[in-house]
Amino acid sequence: MTDAKSGSAGSVEAVARAGEHEIEIKKSRFICALSRAAGEAEAQEFVRQVRKRHWSATHNCYAYVVGEDGRTHKSNDDGEPGGTAGVPMLEVLLRRGLVDTVAVVTRYYGGVKLGAGGLIRAYGSAVSEALDAVGVVERRPVALVTAVADHTTAGRLENDLRAAGYAVRDVRYGAAVEFEVGVPEPEVAAFLAWLAEATAGGVRATVGGRVMVEVRS
């Protein structure tokens, strides 16, 4: 959920959904499985699931970027020569600015050796092509602004908010009507100025909280 006034400051990306994509290089099959992972435990569980499904594969290598602001990175070569599998996989995730994403590349050896350079290209390509096939979503930081209006002006305010392209995330009715509006962080000051002008200063607004919203490309 986002709004027409979104900016890209502070945005990151994540894989759009769980999915798989396969490529073949010199008779070896490289199957890249991708998934969202909110944390390291979830990423490791996905790795275990893929390894169980492909128990007879030659290798099941993985890489993930998870945690707050994508601070936790990990990769594993699963028996391939050191640095030829997990590292290039992780480099693709980092280069594309992905967070909360785990990739597992399963290799079924086809009998032709690829060499270190060939392996690096193969594992990197497997992840890159899988991301292109499965898709990614942009995630943007949004400030939560609560605007409080009386019942006589609430209907017009809601119409004005939506017409102006602001994301009304919630409407709460009580003694007054509270609108929770998602505003891109760099545009909060402009929104507050717009709100004051649109309501002739008749609406109270407070800024509190922050969420990430997704924009599918």
Taking the domain 138-216, which CATH number applies? Answer: 3.30.70.240
On whether the CB atoms of residues 119 and 87 are closer than 8 A, the answer is: no
Question: What confidence tens digit (pLDDT) does each residue in 166-176 have?
Answer: 888 899 999 99
Residue spans in the chain of domains classed CATH 3.30.70.240: 138-216
End-to-end CA distance of the chain: 13
pLDDT the model gives residue 213 = 72
Residue spans in the chain of domains classed CATH 3.30.230.30: 17-134
pLDDT the model gives residue 165 = 87
pLDDT the model gives residue 4 = 31
Q: Give the DSSP H or E segment for 131.
A: helix 115-134
On whether the CB atoms of residues 142 and 9 are closer than 8 A, the answer is: no
- CA dist 52 and 2 (Å) reads 38
Instruction: Determine the number of helices (DSSP H) and then strands (DSSP E) in the chain.
Output: 5, 10
On whether the CB atoms of residues 143 and 210 are closer than 8 A, the answer is: yes
- CA dist 204 and 184 (Å) reads 19
pLDDT the model gives residue 106 = 98
| Maximum C-alpha span of the chain | 76
Low-confidence ranges of the chain (pLDDT < 70): 1-10, 69-70, 215-217
pLDDT the model gives residue 114 = 95
Fold of the domain spanning 17-134: Ribosomal Protein S5; domain 2 (3.30.230)
pLDDT the model gives residue 88 = 97
Q: Which residue has the tokens 């073949």?
A: 24
- CA dist 105 and 30 (Å) reads 6
- CA dist 197 and 206 (Å) reads 16
